[in-house]
């Protein structure tokens, strides 16, 4: 099944965008009020986590709690994840992505993460052996993601039932207290996996002609 080309060169940088260090990092997309981000950065002081949240109020709540707890290895970011990732991240820079309880987009399935052409770009930013953790309380969402991983993205993964005692996010706590089944997919990028964006550098400092040239001759993702 052909994968439609993601138009990275059309992405404008988020407002007040600032570049980050090219060092290896972990990235949480849709971090909310930061419960998981604060927990993960506290438990993994050797890893740097960038926690991206689009909603201003939630990001402010995360920032406020971060100031109180003071993890030096956590960087909250108020931005839309897609343009921020395109402009900020280098190829194979990310050790782990976390996408915990994303909007299931019931009326627009094309906007689900593994259905979007952008997912190929996301994979290009992941290190070999790096992982993407995708969690949901919706069985159909997980089942569809499994199908896409097998048929389209051709990636190895493990499906896990999330323990009833887990409390990584406010949504997770609420769903588990209701007795809902919460599951996650741990997706791994194997050695030799290729995308059409493996040599695509952040757009900052590139001319429009250079950006277009990088996406002019796509190859099929293997």
H or E segment at 56?
helix 56-69
Position 14 in a domain: no
C-alpha separations of 13 from 57, 86, 106, 186 in Å: 21, 8, 28, 29
Alpha-carbon distance of 99 to 168, in angstroms, equals: 12
When computed from its CA atoms, the radius of gyration of the chain, rounded to whole angstroms, is 17
Position 15 in a domain: no
147-176 pLDDT, tens per residue? 999 999 999 999 999 999 999 999 999 999
Query: Strand 157-161 relative to strand 49-53: parallel, antiparallel, unpaired?
Result: unpaired
Vertex 108 angle, CA 103 and 114, to 5°: 65
Position 58 in a domain: yes
Position 28 in a domain: yes
CATH number at residue 114: 3.40.50.150
Is the pLDDT confidence value at 214 over 80?
Answer: no
Average pLDDT, the chain: 91
> What's the pLDDT at 217?
42
101-146 pLDDT, tens per residue? 999 999 999 999 999 999 999 999 999 999 999 999 999 999 999 9
Position 37 in a domain: yes
DSSP lists the bridge partners of residue 97 as 27, 132
> What's the pLDDT at 2?
61
Position 59 in a domain: yes
Position 204 in a domain: yes
Into how many domains does the chain fold?
1
Report residue 6 as tokens: 């993601």
The residue segments making up the domain with residue 87 are 22-214
Among residues 1, 4, 39, the alpha carbon closest in space to that of 218 is found at 4
Position 3 in a domain: no
186-203 pLDDT, tens per residue? 999 999 999 999 999 987
């Amino acid at each position: 099944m052909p994968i439609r080309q993601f138009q990275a060169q059309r992405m404008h940088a988020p407002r007040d965008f600032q570049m980050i260090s090219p060092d290896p990092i972990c990235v949480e997309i849709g971090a909310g009020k930061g419960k998981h981000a604060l927990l993960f950065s506290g438990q993994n002081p050797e890893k740097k986590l960038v926690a991206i949240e689009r909603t201003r109020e939630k990001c402010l709540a995360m920032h406020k709690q971060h100031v109180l707890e003071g993890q030096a290895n956590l960087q909250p970011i108020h931005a839309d994840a897609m343009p921020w990732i395109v402009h900020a991240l280098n190829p194979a820079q990310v050790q782990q992505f976390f996408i915990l309880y994303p909007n299931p987009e019931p009326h627009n399935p094309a906007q689900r993460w593994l259905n979007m052409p952008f997912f190929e770009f996301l994979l290009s930013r992941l290190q070999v052996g790096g992982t993407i953790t995708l969690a949901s309380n919706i069985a159909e969402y997980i089942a569809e993601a499994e199908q896409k991983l097998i048929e389209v993205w051709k990636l190895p993964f493990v499906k896990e039932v999330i323990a009833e005692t887990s409390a990584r996010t406010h949504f997770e706590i609420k769903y588990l207290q209701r007795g809902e089944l919460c599951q996650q997919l741990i997706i791994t990028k194997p050695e030799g996996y290729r995308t059409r964006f493996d040599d695509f550098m952040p757009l900052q400092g590139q001319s429009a002609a250079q950006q277009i040239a990088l996406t002019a001759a796509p190859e099929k993702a293997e």
